[in-house]
């Protein structure tokens, strides 16, 4: 049976690394896996990504950002996620809808009910089977993010208070939906974090991993 797993967290929390590690382990276990990311994950969605992660910090209003994210998300769902799930594959995404709640909601102060209505309009009641939130202190995360040097730094350049609200948002999302979400300390070494991720996947989704 197909499963949809998402990784969430602030800047530099290690999501991309852990997506790849989990996909490798699932592959060894004989599971067909598709890895993807948001914003992005489909041609049109990647074009929208460029609008969101580059440029001036204040180039968009919070609602414009939310609309752009959900436009990209719809493309991602229809062209990548849903076809893979319908084919019986597992999908692992670096970010999904919780990032809109955290970034545009908690971070930028957009009303949460407006985001929820937007989600229902675009995706109905669709949610991941499991969401792993990698939590990390701000200084460590922002230092990691700065070291990447990939140029996609619009959100990294937002003030410390923004990132504090963002971290709080992800933790509150997990608190509200404990059956779907699991919090893992992202500050440890890669192998230790990967081991915790595998333990959560085994426990929550009932799959034996090597």
Domain boundaries, the chain: 4-205
Tens digit of pLDDT for each residue in 12-29?
899 999 999 999 999 999
Asked if the model's pLDDT at residue 86 lies above 80, the reply is: yes
| Helical (H) or strand (E) element with 185 | strand 181-185
Using pLDDT thresholds of 50, 70 and 90, give the confidence band for residue 139: confident
pLDDT band, very low/low/confident/very high, at 105 (cuts 50, 70, 90): very high
Confidence label for 115 from pLDDT (cuts 50, 70 and 90): very high
Q: What share of the chain is helix, strand, coil (3-state, %, to 5)?
A: 55, 15, 30
Question: What confidence tier does 54 reach under pLDDT thresholds 50, 70, 90?
Answer: very high
* Domain boundaries 4-205, CATH class: alpha beta
Rg from Cα positions in the chain: 16
Give the other-Cβ count within 10 Å of 45's Cβ: 25
Q: Does 108 score more than 80 pLDDT?
A: yes
Nearest CA among 115, 131, 166 for reference residue 12: 166
**How large is the average pLDDT for residues 72-94?**
98
What pLDDT sits at residue 146? 79
Percent of the chain with pLDDT over 70: 100
Task: Kindly tell me if the per-residue pLDDT of 102 is higher than 90.
Answer: yes
pLDDT tens digits, 141-169: 888 877 877 778 899 999 899 999 999 99
Q: How many helices (H) and strands (E) does the chain have?
A: 9, 5
pLDDT, average across residues 197-209? 95
The reported pTM is 0.96
Residue 7's CB is within 10 A of a number of other CB atoms, namely 29
79 vs 42: CA distance, rounded Å: 6
Q: What is the pLDDT of residue 176?
A: 97
pLDDT classification of 129: cutoffs 50, 70, 90: very high
- Contact criterion met (CB below 8 Å) for 181 and 199: no
Report the C-alpha gap between 123 and 101 in whole angstroms: 14
What is the structure's pLDDT at 171?
98
């Amino acid at each position: 049976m197909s499963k949809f797993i998402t990784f969430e967290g602030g800047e530099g929390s290690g999501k991309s690394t852990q997506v790849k590690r989990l996909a490798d382990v699932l592959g060894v276990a004989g599971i067909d896996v598709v890895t993807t990311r948001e914003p992005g994950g489909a041609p049109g969605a990647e074009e929208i990504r460029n609008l969101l992660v580059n440029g001036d910090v204040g180039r968009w209003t919070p609602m414009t950002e939310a609309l752009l994210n959900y436009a990209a998300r719809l493309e991602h769902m229809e062209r990548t996620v849903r076809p893979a799930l319908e084919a019986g594959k597992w999908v692992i995404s670096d970010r999904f809808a919780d990032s809109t709640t955290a970034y545009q909601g908690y971070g930028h102060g957009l009303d949460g009910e407006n985001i929820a209505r937007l989600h229902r309009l675009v995706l109905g009641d669709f949610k991941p089977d499991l969401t792993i939130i990698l939590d990390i202190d701000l200084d460590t995360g922002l230092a990691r993010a700065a070291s990447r040097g990939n140029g996609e730094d619009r959100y990294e350049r937002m003030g410390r208070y923004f990132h504090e609200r963002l971290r709080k948002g992800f933790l509150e999302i997990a608190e509200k939906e404990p059956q779907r979400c699991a919090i893992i300390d992202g500050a440890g070494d890669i192998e230790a974090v990967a081991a915790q991720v595998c333990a959560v996947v085994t426990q929550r989704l009932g799959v034996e991993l090597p």
